[in-house]
Structure formats: C-alpha cells, structure tokens
Amino acid sequence: MSNVRVNESPNHFMVLDAIARGVKTVDKIAKVTRLNKAEVELITNDLVAQRLVIQTEKKGFFGGKKLEFAISHTGMQLLSSKKAELEKQAQQIQQWYQNGNTQQLQSYMDNNRMWMPMMLFSGIMNVMFFMSMMSLMSMAMTPAESGLAGDAGAGAADSGAAADGSGGDAGAADSGGGDFGGDFGGGDFSF
C-alpha cells in the first residue's frame, strides 16, 4: 500500500467514481479515467487495502484470472461526501465567475487545481463552463484537464485551441454557469 491519503488524492476519487459507475476492471478504469494502467493498479490496491472497494477474482475466457472491483458501502459514503464538498466548491466558483471575480478564481485554481480533473470526470463541473472560466483567466489546461474536457466536450470546442486561451469561442459558452446536476456531458463510456 502506498502512503497516499485517499482524501487528498483526486486520482483515487476518479477511480472510486468509475468503480461506483460499474466500471469493474483495471483496463476499463484506465480507459475511462485516462490514467495509466500501472497507476490504476496502485490506486485499486490502495482502495482495497482501505476497504473502500471489494476485489473479486473471476475466471477469464482462456483459463486466466481477472480481477474485478466493486465499491463498498464505506467507499460509497466517502465518495458521496467528497462529491458534495466539490459541488459546494463548484457553486462558489460559478458565483465568482458570474461576478467577474478573477482574483478569487485565480486563488482557488492556485490552491485546488489538482481537483479539476475529478470535477470534470464526475460531472460536478460542466466542461463548457470550465473552458470559459479558463479563458477568462487566460490559463492553459493541464493534459489531464484537456483529456477529460476533450472527451466530455465531444465536439463542443477544440480543446487544443482552447488550451492556450487563444482559440475556442468562450463567448458561445453558457455564461449562466455550469451544469452541476451530475450529468457527465457526453463522456465516452463504451466498454
């Protein structure tokens, strides 16, 4: 088990969220979260050791064994609690954005940027709102944010152009704020 404190690791929550949605294998979790397979294996081991997910061994097609994961009751409680916390933060971000308070947005991003991929992955923050906010602050997206925004935004904007703040028509985005209802916004969940 690694020394990672799960509550401080967005990647652990992304994996936990994927498992909660019924994504059961390391390969599929890696695909939907855009994390590399080795990292997903380490994270699932951490989550199993902390009893946040349950690991079962299934027989494969060719006699091999494959591991499958399911979220535990404790894992679901922790995930729900973290999502509620992030939803409150997203509402605050939306309020700062609507008020044009770029200083508060910048401060939040400086201190909490690592949670953006989780917020995008779980649908807590709408991709178009996120891209518009980044454009307002003239900030570039990280590779993780770009990957998730590209998936969820499915043709909504060219994430490569929007990443440098010069492309993507931020004015076309819904300046009324994000969709905080938990809808993923068209992510690729084909298994």
Residue 182 lies in a domain: no
Number of domains in the chain: 2
- Domain presence at residue 179: no
Number of Cβ atoms within 10 Å of the Cβ of 105: 20
Whether 36 and 90 map to the same domain: the answer is no
Please indicate, yes or no, if residue 27 is contained in any of the structural domains: yes
Residue 191 has pLDDT above 50, yes or no: no
- Arithmetic mean of pLDDT, 4-30: 91
Counting residues of the chain whose pLDDT is more than 70, the rounded percentage is 76
Residues in contact with 18: Cβ distance below 8 Å, sequence separation at least 6, in sequence order: 28, 29, 32, 33, 121
93 and 41 in a common domain = no
Summarised one tens digit per residue, pLDDT across range 38-97 is 999 999 999 999 999 999 998 877 777 888 999 999 999 999 999 999 999 999 999 999
Q: Are residues 44 and 90 in the same domain?
A: no
Both 39 and 99 in one domain: the answer is no
Mean pLDDT rounded to a whole number for the chain: 79
Q: Considering only CA atoms, give the Rg of the chain.
A: 17
pLDDT of residue 59: 80
Mean pLDDT of 120-143: 87
* Residue 62 belongs to a domain: yes
- pTM of the predicted model as reported, rounded to 2 decimal places: 0.72
The answer to whether residues 39 and 97 belong to one domain is no
Domain of 124? 86-172
Note whether 99 and 125 are same-domain residues.
Answer: yes
User: Can you give the CATH number for the domain in which 20 is found?
Assistant: 1.10.10.10
What pLDDT score does 178 carry?
41
- Domain check: are 22 and 49 in the same one? yes
My answer on whether 145 and 95 are in the same domain is yes
What is the pLDDT, as a whole number, of residue 64? 78
First to last CA, the chain: 28
Dump pLDDT digits (tens) for 92-122. 999 999 998 989 999 999 899 899 999 999 9
Residue written as tokens 């990672």? 4
* Window from 14-28, 34-48, 95-109, 160-174 with minimum mean pLDDT: 160-174
